Every structure is written in structure tokens, then in C-alpha cells.
């Protein structure tokens, strides 16, 4: 079992799985926020994106030598979420 560094929680997921789940959560929150246009939901979606990026940095995933294609795809998904939120706020 791995301990999640930023929260102290223990999970059965490795760092890549935790990061992937954080990205999926950010995607879902972004989708809901842009459909509802609720300011609080939009703020929560931005926070989910920030949390996913923080998790990535804290876990040192860029230094693990793992599949860079996977990490690039996850970063691209987070960038799309940010762009979607920015466009919705215009």
C-alpha cells in the first residue's frame, strides 16, 4: 500500500494510477462546471487541476523513467481542462 504524500492517505494504487485518477476527477469536475457555469464549481474544477499537477510534482513522476507518452497524454488532458474552463468563463 502506498501513502499519498499530500494527504497522508493510504491507497493500493501506485503513483501513476493516483495521477491518472486525479486527472479523471479534474476532467469530470471541468465538464460539470462548464455545463452548470456555477462559479463555485468552476473554482473547484480549477483546484482539481491544480491538485493533479501538485500530485505529479510531489510524486516525482517525471523522474521515474516511466512511459513519457502516458504522462504527456495526461498533461494534455489537464491542459484541455484548463482551456475549456477559460473559454467557458469568457
List per-residue pLDDT tens for the chain, 90 residues long: 444 555 555 556 677 888 899 999 999 999 999 999 999 999 999 999 999 999 888 876 666 566 778 888 999 999 999 999 999 988
Supply the pLDDT for residue 1. 42
pTM, whole model, 2 decimals? 0.79
d(CA 32, CA 69): 27
d(CA 78, CA 41): 16
Pair 52, 78: CB distance under 8 Å: yes
Amino acid at each position: 500500500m502506498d501513502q499519498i504524500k499530500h494527504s497522508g492517505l493510504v491507497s493500493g494504487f501506485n503513483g501513476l494510477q493516483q495521477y491518472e485518477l486525479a486527472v479523471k476527477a479534474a476532467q469530470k469536475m471541468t465538464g460539470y462546471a462548464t455545463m452548470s457555469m456555477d462559479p463555485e464549481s468552476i473554482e473547484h474544477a480549477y483546484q482539481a487541476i491544480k491538485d493533479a499537477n501538485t500530485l505529479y510534482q510531489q510524486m516525482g513522476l517525471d523522474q521515474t523513467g516511466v512511459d513519457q507518452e502516458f504522462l504527456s497524454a495526461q498533461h494534455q488532458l489537464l491542459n484541455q481542462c484548463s482551456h475549456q474552463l477559460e473559454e467557458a468563463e469568457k
